[in-house]
Amino acid sequence: MTLSWVQIVRLGLVQLCLGAVVVLTTSTLNRLMTVELALPAMLSGALVALHSFVQITRPSWGFWSDAQGKRTRFIIGGMAILSAGAALASLMVALGTAGQGAGLAISILAYVLIGMGAGASGTSLLALLASGCAPQRRAAAATITWLMMIFGIAVTGGVIGALLDPYSPQRLMAIVAVVTLGSVALTALAIHGIEAKVIPARLPDETPLRKGLAEVWAEPRTRTFTLFIVLSMTAFFLQELILEPYAGLVFDYTPGQSTSLSGAQHGGMFVGMLAVGIAVSGLRLGTLKLWVTAGCLGSALSLAVIAALGQLDRGLLTPAVTVLGVFNGMFAIASIGAMMQLAGQGREGREGTRMGVWGASQAIAQGLGGFAGAALVDLLRLSGDTADAFGMVFAVEAALFLAAGLMAWRIIDGSGLRRPSPHLVPGE
């Protein structure tokens, strides 16, 4: 059997939960540490980068779910670990001890748990989706599930922004408890019984982890797409940790207003993803190559506008960030469509491992991009105007998106990745 549309939507609910919990740590807690607790942006950036670097274990999670054939327990268990880490990190912020002594040590542990949980749950979920979907449904399935994740991020950002004002530690922890406990419960209900009905039982794969990873990395398509992910996702995440502090420090946004700004960005991503999903899967309009490239170039242009806003009207920030979200969504969903198609190609039974490799490269890019953005802002603010410091980092991000768009135009065709040239030597 293959996944039905109802089952695909149920898996999308798990993606929704992942997005809702992760946005707490990368958006709301980051803003509170930087502005309300007056901690260096580099510190919050380092914590978020830590959770990303921990996800270098994604290939291992993917391989183990391939080998054992029991992805459901990785999905539910990972969500529980992720939620526990998010709750612990939030508690340290609420107590005001996230940046010092024992509180900092506990925050580090919390972000390690966040990375482990997101890696285990997210990788296994995408592997189940790739291995259980009929080939002709993979692009549409990717659109549905990722739209639901962005919907979860956007709604969570908007609702938290509305409920968090006026800010208090008690209010923060009440919101976090509802989001984390609700996410674990909904994940368990949504995933229940799907794997047993769709994926036939099979004997465990006794291939050693190192050999299994080497088999996948030997595939030229896997390596080429990994390089594209690193470049494009570094650009994608460079502004992640500085956008809300930018709104607070330059435009005097309150915590609720800046959280709502993040919700507007993710709402724009939802629109961009939906538009490309309908265009490619429904109307057969355009190609993956076209939409990835257009998303990258449009993101670069939007960031150039945001970089100039420090000297302009405060009211233009939300529209500019929303447009950035639209182009980000176009780029992201077209890239994911190519990824889903490529995951099912090559050696059979290694969908999870390929997803793990690409997930790890994305996580590394997220960590490097997020930390680099925060660190650059801190350094530039030491010797210059705050608005100019943020603007320069946004300009760097625009340049990276431009480079990613040019790379996408060269390596991606209408349905996925171009076949490597026969003249290339493996490893080049």
User: Tens digit of pLDDT for each residue in 296-323?
Assistant: 999 999 999 888 876 566 678 889 999 9
Alpha helices in 278-350 (DSSP H): 288-308, 317-343
Spell out the long-range contacts of 108-112 with Cβ–Cβ below 8 A and sequence spacing 24 or more.
108/47, 108/50, 109/85, 110/85, 110/86, 111/25, 111/47, 111/48, 111/50, 111/51, 111/54, 111/85, 112/50, 112/51, 112/54, 112/85
Mean pLDDT of 109-121: 92
- Rounded to two decimals, the pTM is 0.71
> Which of 45-59, 150-164, 248-262, 341-355 shows the lowest mean pLDDT across its residues?
341-355
Measure the CA–CA gap between 311 and 326, rounded to whole angstroms. Answer: 24
Inform me whether the pLDDT recorded for 425 exceeds 60: no
Nearest by Cα to 400 from 304, 317, 289? 304
Mean pLDDT of 245-255: 82
Mean pLDDT of 275-294: 81
Inform me whether the pLDDT recorded for 367 exceeds 60: yes
Give me the residue spans of the domains in the chain: 5-411
- pLDDT for the residue 410: 81
Mean pLDDT of 245-253: 83
Confidence of residue 423 (pLDDT cuts 50, 70, 90): very low
Could you tell me which residues are beta bridge partners of residue 216?
Answer: none
For the domain made up of 5-411, the CATH class stated in words is mainly alpha
Question: What tokens does 76 get?
Answer: 């539910």
> Which of 68-77, 205-214, 276-285, 350-359 shows the lowest mean pLDDT across its residues?
205-214
Mean pLDDT of 98-115: 90
Specify whether the CB–CB gap between 290 and 298 falls below 8 A. Answer: no
- pLDDT for the residue 243: 85
Mean pLDDT of 153-175: 82
Confidence of residue 422 (pLDDT cuts 50, 70, 90): very low
